[in-house]
A and B are shown apart, each in its own frame.
Chain A
């Protein structure tokens, strides 16, 4: 809770500090606020308390996910440092909006009530609509913002309708009360309650970009500024999964047989279509969008399984996925800045010109693929294990097949990185970038060697 207050203060301070000239001050304030919030979150470990009339529940689940997204945002702040060099006019606003979105994410992981969840989702989404359009002169950015907004509102409508239907049947917004309502009225639950669950799931699936509600993702990922895309691919995704799992577990786990069928179909579609669609992509950001959708499919497996291993598996997956994604988008950002292109072809020879960056980039891609000695391997392993534990065998087989397909498009990038190409220039790394890359790659290796410490947390 303290961390939320600190984050809010940081956000507001950033807006005021925008009056000053120095961009590095903004950067410092942001970093300091995030580090303080991170430490305060860690201090909450082991606590179990309900605040505001059970609207907010702080427990280890929320603490772990909150720390994960605060940490991720910190890394994104580090790689935002080239915005400072390029003297972006609206940096204060961008930073502040990002912090506000982060607050929304933190609320999404610790809600005890569907109204709080809605608040969290909207606090997260509205700044993002603006952020997606933050490159004001770029038509692509404007288009991304607008598309995201329209499709997002559409999904919000679904979500609200779901909440309303469930309230209509059960008379409560509180997740635990809904759960006990299901237990008490097992045989006489009205149809609108079931319909409510389905519509609720559809609304949430939009946020995590599960197929067939993913349409915004490739277009918005491509059009939005890369920094914002990074934020969407990591923080938003982690928060979204933390929320969807918490909601389904706290409120609807007693009806799991019922909604699992729908989720099963969504998972299957997500895994298959994203892997296939990614094969022919030529732009890095679009490819990463599909890779993100595909990863949503994997995490959905753990949500679908809904057993005691799920929270750990989801945390592990979202965290290692964020590490790899930050590195990849960081590299794309640097590369775009120097060459103005994000096509896979333009990366040819990148690794040979910048060996250290090339190795880190390759490591991140290996982790995303799920090759051992990287965290990504154990992420996929635990997800599959969790799903098998609940007897979802066939969909795991599909998951393994799509992993094999994913090797093709990830290795296409690695292949390009190390091709012979003399036109590629050396790209210097400034210290914040180096720090972020170093921390992320060390963590990728550490999670790959000692997965136990992270997986046992939840």
Chain B
């Protein structure tokens, strides 16, 4: 057993131990201690991942760690194995790094909740499954993690289960994900049939199948894509993610922004050697990516709930990653995944800080003028907003710029749409920024309450205060990462050496764009975005105390967007209604009339036969001996006459 094996076991064991301790010893622990245990359970894996990262540079580029046999039937051999390569190490660093920060933040955010132990146990369990997903060396291990994170996501979305709407949101997330999981699962079966293995190493080196059987590879990749679309909330399976904001804000930051939703992207990058052979799938990914990016960015423009805006923004950014994947720019996708994990986690945590200060208020109409009251939140939110808008030198600029360049390289018309998307991005994020931090505080103006069912106690602006250090320090850490994270892959034109691309060493699409064009493209985008920020500034801060537009003032198109293009309603009409109808019709006929009757009569038949068999046993020895002799004679007769 070498060092890496021990590290990987420890990396997996710590979150699991954290889960078990918090789940079973919870009665004896004060909330703070359980939070500290939960954070340590993620922090230690972070240190170990760093050690692996340092070791990996020196040694062989990738190693498969074989732990034990698992499933062996016929030709198929699926061991318990883990893969340590640059890709998985990068993901491990992102998950444990952002995870640690969010766990620490949660100690402050959840301190008054009396189920804080449960919260931390599930968070640890999530990290455990996420690490399994990342480090698995075959698709089945990945699938364990895949299902596990889905479960944790379900549990944590419905964490405040007393609210029925939250439970509904949890169920919705779970069911939507099941559709994706089904695709993934069928892909696994097809791989077992065609490759007779699920190990990455064996599948990606089976060139004779990969290069010849394009049809099969296309079907497999399409099914994998269904899985990725479900998990990463892309069109058409994206509607669960906005509802998933029902969970506590740290959950939204960790699971529904930084890590789990990126699992689909990770899976496709991991399988890039398969997707290379399926150009059709790649084109589909481009279409899905760009459409999702634009559609959800548009919806984000009109949302009133601060977390919903961020949710749609996440979907939109994931759309960018998919766009990169479809273009074959795998390392750009991973780069954006990393920087997005930083700045989107930061946006969520900053939003959480606001919500915390406002006693659970999430509606933008109730905010405004918070800049002076929450200075740390204000500055860190600004950094994140600049990062997501792609302003240099913030991290989002470099990663998004790479994707845009790749897009331009492929087809300039697509580039226009991608730039349009980044303009929308800056509009919706600065809209939130100005609405929350500028203008006047609207939380105590009575005319904003008219459509609220429960009127929250008005909070005086003077009573608002910044969150405690345990919450602001994580914000600062993430702000530094959002600011500087882009330098891990500084492109050549800025004097860098594309460190991340070289580190990951995934064969990605090359951009053959010369420096002049590149300068021109970059400056165009940045200038347009900066202009938009200023326009938005005037729109939302010119008049005092202006909140978001009220629905009665909207025109038709605005109403469409405000209602999220009625996609949820459409799905309800297309799927839920017919399903309900069918189940109502089938219950009396098929279920009760046919299945139940068949099953019950099988039982009755057995019981009747049973009582017959029982009658033979009448306690009379002569009868027994008679039967035994008859049986013996019968057997001898068979012996004589038949055999």
With a cutoff of 8 Å between Cβ atoms, the chain A residues found around residue B616 in the complex are 215
A167 at the interface (CB under 8 A from B): no
Report the interface size class on chain A: 20 to 34
Alpha-carbon distance between A382 and B606 when the two chains are bound, in angstroms: 27
The answer to whether A215 and B628 have CB atoms under 8 Å apart is yes
With a cutoff of 8 Å between Cβ atoms, the chain B residues found around residue A195 in the complex are 636, 639
With a cutoff of 8 Å between Cβ atoms, the chain B residues found around residue A219 in the complex are 617, 619
The answer to whether A212 and B631 have CB atoms under 8 Å apart is yes
Chain B 613-643 against A: per-residue CB contact (8 Å), 1 yes, 0 no?
1101101010011011001100110111011
With a cutoff of 8 Å between Cβ atoms, the chain B residues found around residue A281 in the complex are 614
Alpha-carbon distance between A198 and B635 when the two chains are bound, in angstroms: 7
The answer to whether B639 and A198 have CB atoms under 8 Å apart is yes
The answer to whether A280 and B614 have CB atoms under 8 Å apart is yes
Alpha-carbon distance between A277 and B636 when the two chains are bound, in angstroms: 26
The answer to whether A277 and B631 have CB atoms under 8 Å apart is no
B54 at the interface (CB under 8 A from A): no
Alpha-carbon distance between A154 and B606 when the two chains are bound, in angstroms: 32
The answer to whether A154 and B613 have CB atoms under 8 Å apart is no
CB nearest neighbor in A for B617: A218
The answer to whether A279 and B606 have CB atoms under 8 Å apart is yes
Of A202, A212, A281, most B-chain CB atoms within 10 Å? A212
The answer to whether B609 and A276 have CB atoms under 8 Å apart is yes
With a cutoff of 8 Å between Cβ atoms, the chain B residues found around residue A199 in the complex are 632, 636
With a cutoff of 8 Å between Cβ atoms, the chain A residues found around residue B624 in the complex are 151, 215-216
Within 8 A of B (CB), among A152-201: 154, 158, 191, 194-195, 198-199
Alpha-carbon distance between A261 and B611 when the two chains are bound, in angstroms: 28
With a cutoff of 8 Å between Cβ atoms, the chain B residues found around residue A280 in the complex are 607, 610-611, 614
With a cutoff of 8 Å between Cβ atoms, the chain B residues found around residue A405 in the complex are 606
With a cutoff of 8 Å between Cβ atoms, the chain B residues found around residue A212 in the complex are 627-628, 631
Of B609, B635, B638, B640, most A-chain CB atoms within 10 Å? B635
Interface of B is mostly: helix
With a cutoff of 8 Å between Cβ atoms, the chain A residues found around residue B627 in the complex are 212, 215
With a cutoff of 8 Å between Cβ atoms, the chain A residues found around residue B603 in the complex are 408
The answer to whether B639 and A154 have CB atoms under 8 Å apart is no
With a cutoff of 8 Å between Cβ atoms, the chain B residues found around residue A276 in the complex are 606, 609-610, 612-613
A258 at the interface (CB under 8 A from B): yes
Q: B628 is contacted by which of A154, A191, A273, A408 (Cβ under 8 Å)?
A: A154
With a cutoff of 8 Å between Cβ atoms, the chain A residues found around residue B642 in the complex are 261
CB nearest neighbor in A for B603: A408
Q: Assuming the A-B contacts A216-B624, A262-B638, are A277 and B610 also in contact, with contact meaning beta carbons closer than 8 angstroms in the complex?
A: yes
Alpha-carbon distance between A273 and B606 when the two chains are bound, in angstroms: 10
With a cutoff of 8 Å between Cβ atoms, the chain B residues found around residue A191 in the complex are 640
Alpha-carbon distance between A158 and B609 when the two chains are bound, in angstroms: 30
Interface of A is mostly: helix
With a cutoff of 8 Å between Cβ atoms, the chain B residues found around residue A262 in the complex are 635, 638-639
The answer to whether A261 and B643 have CB atoms under 8 Å apart is yes
Q: A258 is contacted by which of B621, B628, B636, B643 (Cβ under 8 Å)?
A: B643
The answer to whether B621 and A150 have CB atoms under 8 Å apart is yes
The answer to whether B606 and A194 have CB atoms under 8 Å apart is no
With a cutoff of 8 Å between Cβ atoms, the chain B residues found around residue A392 in the complex are none
A202 to chain B, nearest CB (A): 5
A147 at the interface (CB under 8 A from B): yes
With a cutoff of 8 Å between Cβ atoms, the chain A residues found around residue B639 in the complex are 194-195, 198, 262
Q: Assuming the A-B contacts A194-B643, A198-B639, are A151 and B607 also in contact, with contact meaning beta carbons closer than 8 angstroms in the complex?
A: no
With a cutoff of 8 Å between Cβ atoms, the chain A residues found around residue B643 in the complex are 194, 258, 261
Within 8 A of A (CB), among B398-440: none
A360 to chain B, nearest CB (A): 22
With a cutoff of 8 Å between Cβ atoms, the chain A residues found around residue B611 in the complex are 280
Q: A279 is contacted by which of B607, B621, B628 (Cβ under 8 Å)?
A: B607
Chain A 277-317 against B: per-residue CB contact (8 Å), 1 yes, 0 no?
11111000000000000000000000000000000000000
The answer to whether A213 and B631 have CB atoms under 8 Å apart is yes
The answer to whether B621 and A147 have CB atoms under 8 Å apart is yes
Chain A 207-219 against B: per-residue CB contact (8 Å), 1 yes, 0 no?
0000011011011
With a cutoff of 8 Å between Cβ atoms, the chain B residues found around residue A218 in the complex are 617
Of B603, B611, B627, B639, most A-chain CB atoms within 10 Å? B639
Alpha-carbon distance between A360 and B347 when the two chains are bound, in angstroms: 53
The answer to whether B617 and A151 have CB atoms under 8 Å apart is no
Alpha-carbon distance between A213 and B603 when the two chains are bound, in angstroms: 27
The answer to whether B632 and A277 have CB atoms under 8 Å apart is no
Q: Assuming the A-B contacts A202-B635, A219-B619, A261-B638, are A154 and B625 also in contact, with contact meaning beta carbons closer than 8 angstroms in the complex?
A: yes
With a cutoff of 8 Å between Cβ atoms, the chain A residues found around residue B638 in the complex are 261-262, 265
B395 to chain A, nearest CB (A): 48
Chain B 290-312 against A: per-residue CB contact (8 Å), 1 yes, 0 no?
00000000000000000000000
The answer to whether A278 and B610 have CB atoms under 8 Å apart is yes
Alpha-carbon distance between A191 and B616 when the two chains are bound, in angstroms: 33
The answer to whether B636 and A198 have CB atoms under 8 Å apart is yes
The answer to whether B609 and A215 have CB atoms under 8 Å apart is no
The answer to whether B635 and A151 have CB atoms under 8 Å apart is no
With a cutoff of 8 Å between Cβ atoms, the chain A residues found around residue B613 in the complex are 273, 276-277
Q: Assuming the A-B contacts A151-B625, A213-B628, A262-B638, are A279 and B610 also in contact, with contact meaning beta carbons closer than 8 angstroms in the complex?
A: yes
A333 to chain B, nearest CB (A): 23
Alpha-carbon distance between A150 and B624 when the two chains are bound, in angstroms: 11
Q: Assuming the A-B contacts A151-B624, A195-B639, are A158 and B610 also in contact, with contact meaning beta carbons closer than 8 angstroms in the complex?
A: no
Chain B 562-577 against A: per-residue CB contact (8 Å), 1 yes, 0 no?
0000000000000000
The answer to whether B614 and A277 have CB atoms under 8 Å apart is yes
With a cutoff of 8 Å between Cβ atoms, the chain A residues found around residue B640 in the complex are 191
With a cutoff of 8 Å between Cβ atoms, the chain B residues found around residue A154 in the complex are 625, 628
Chain B 589-621 against A: per-residue CB contact (8 Å), 1 yes, 0 no?
000000000000001001101111110110101
Within 8 A of B (CB), among A124-172: 147, 150-151, 154, 158
B72 to chain A, nearest CB (A): 11
Alpha-carbon distance between A279 and B635 when the two chains are bound, in angstroms: 28
Alpha-carbon distance between A151 and B610 when the two chains are bound, in angstroms: 24
With a cutoff of 8 Å between Cβ atoms, the chain A residues found around residue B612 in the complex are 276
Of A147, A202, A276, A281, most B-chain CB atoms within 10 Å? A276
With a cutoff of 8 Å between Cβ atoms, the chain A residues found around residue B628 in the complex are 151, 154, 206, 212-213, 215
The answer to whether B617 and A215 have CB atoms under 8 Å apart is yes
With a cutoff of 8 Å between Cβ atoms, the chain B residues found around residue A202 in the complex are 631-632, 635
A373 to chain B, nearest CB (A): 16
With a cutoff of 8 Å between Cβ atoms, the chain A residues found around residue B610 in the complex are 276-280
Alpha-carbon distance between A3 and B619 when the two chains are bound, in angstroms: 39
Alpha-carbon distance between A277 and B631 when the two chains are bound, in angstroms: 19
Chain A 255-280 against B: per-residue CB contact (8 Å), 1 yes, 0 no?
00010011001000000010011111
Within 8 A of B (CB), among A226-272: 258, 261-262, 265
Alpha-carbon distance between A281 and B614 when the two chains are bound, in angstroms: 8
With a cutoff of 8 Å between Cβ atoms, the chain A residues found around residue B614 in the complex are 277, 280-281
CB nearest neighbor in B for A194: B639
With a cutoff of 8 Å between Cβ atoms, the chain A residues found around residue B621 in the complex are 147, 150-151
A76 to chain B, nearest CB (A): 26
B634 to chain A, nearest CB (A): 9
| Given A198-B636, A276-B610, 20 more pairs with CB closer than 8 A | A194-B643, A202-B635, A213-B631, A215-B616, A215-B617, A215-B624, A219-B619, A261-B638, A261-B642, A262-B638, A273-B613, A276-B612, A276-B613, A277-B610, A277-B614, A279-B606, A279-B607, A280-B610, A280-B611, A280-B614
Query: What would 18 A/B residue contacts be, using CB atoms closer than 8 Å?
Result: A194-B639, A194-B643, A195-B636, A202-B632, A212-B627, A213-B631, A215-B616, A215-B627, A215-B628, A261-B643, A265-B638, A273-B613, A276-B609, A276-B610, A277-B617, A279-B606, A280-B610, A408-B603
* Chain B contacts to A: CB under 8 angstroms: 603, 606-607, 609-614, 616-617, 619, 621, 624-625, 627-628, 631-632, 635-636, 638-640, 642-643
* Chain A contacts to B: CB under 8 angstroms: 147, 150-151, 154, 158, 191, 194-195, 198-199, 202, 206, 212-213, 215-216, 218-219, 258, 261-262, 265, 273, 276-281, 405, 408
- 9 closest residue pairs by CB, A with B: A279-B610, A215-B624, A277-B613, A212-B631, A276-B610, A280-B610, A276-B609, A276-B613, A273-B613
